[in-house]
Amino acid sequence: MKVITTIAEMRKLRSKQAGSVGLVPTMGYLHEGHLELVRRALLENLTVIVSIFVNPTQFAPEEDFTSYPHDPERDLALLEKERVDLVFMPGAQEMYPEGSSSWVEVEKVTERLEGDFRPGHFRGVATVVAKLFNITQPHRAYFGQKDAQQLAVIRKMVSDLNMNLEVVAVPTVREPDGLALSSRNTYLSPKERKAALVLWKSLSLAQELWQKGERSAAPIRQEMTSLIESEPLAKIDYVSIADPETLEELEEIDRPALVSMAVKIGKTRLIDNITLGE
C-alpha cells in the first residue's frame, strides 16, 4: 500500500494503473461501513484508491470541522489490512490552494432536507468530489446509502456533467441493535447512544406500516415523528418520505420512497434512512 499526499504524485501513479480503478472517498476515522465500501471496490476493480480528506468547505462555521474525529495511523492500518493499493491523503492547502475560487453547484436536489439545514454543504461536497474524480480518474466510485441525499447529489452531478464513471451505492452498515455506523457516533455518551436507537425504531415503524398496506405518506410521517418525540434527548430537524432521485416529498407511496431523517441526540446530529418498495 502506498500513501500519497500530493496531486502531482497521485496523477503520476494513476497513469501507471492498468485495468479498472475504484475510488472510495472518505473523511477518515474509518469504521466498518467504510470498510464495506473498500471491500466492494476490491471485488470489482484491479486497483483501489481510498481518499482521506476532511473537507473544510462542506462544514458551516458552527459545525464540527475542528473537532471532527481523526486517527490517521489507525485508518492506514485498517486499509493496509484490507490490501488497498493507494491511499490519497492531501492537506487542505493541496486541495484548495490560495486563490481557489471555482465551485460545483448542483441545484434542486440540494435545496431540500440537508440543504435546508446546512446551507452550502452540498456545494462543498460536490466540489471536493469532482476534484477527487478529476485527480484519480476512477472507473467506479463507492458511497454509502446512509448519506442518501449526498448519493443523489453525486449521481446528479455525474449525469449532468457527463463524467465517465459509475457511482456505486453500498447498503448502510448497522450495529446489531440497528444504529447506523457513523464517525459521529463517537460523540454520544452511553445514555445518548441508547437514545439514538429511536432513529432505527422509527424507520422500522415506517417499514412495518408500509408492509401492512399503508400507502399514504402523511400518517407514516406522523407516527415516526411521534415516536421520535417520545425520546426526551431527541430533537427532530426533519422526517421525510420522498422520491429517491428528486427528493420531492410524496403524498402517496406509489413507487420506491426514501424515508429519511435528521435528529439531534443531545448535541450530536445523526442521519439515517431506508427505502420502501425497493
Catalytically active residues are 34
Residue 250 Rama label (left phi>0; alpha psi -120 to 50; beta): beta
Residue 124 Rama label (left phi>0; alpha psi -120 to 50; beta): alpha
Q: How far apart are CA 186 and CA 76, in angstroms?
A: 19
Rounded to 5 degrees, φ, ψ at 205 are: -65, -45
Task: Give the residue carrying C-alpha cell 439514538.
Answer: 196
Most distant CA atoms of the chain, gap in Å: 57
Q: For residue 274, list its beta bridge partners.
A: 259
Q: Give the pairing of strands 21-26 and 47-52.
A: parallel
Give how far Cα 244 sits from Cα of 85, 151, 155, 156, 240, Å: 33, 10, 11, 12, 11
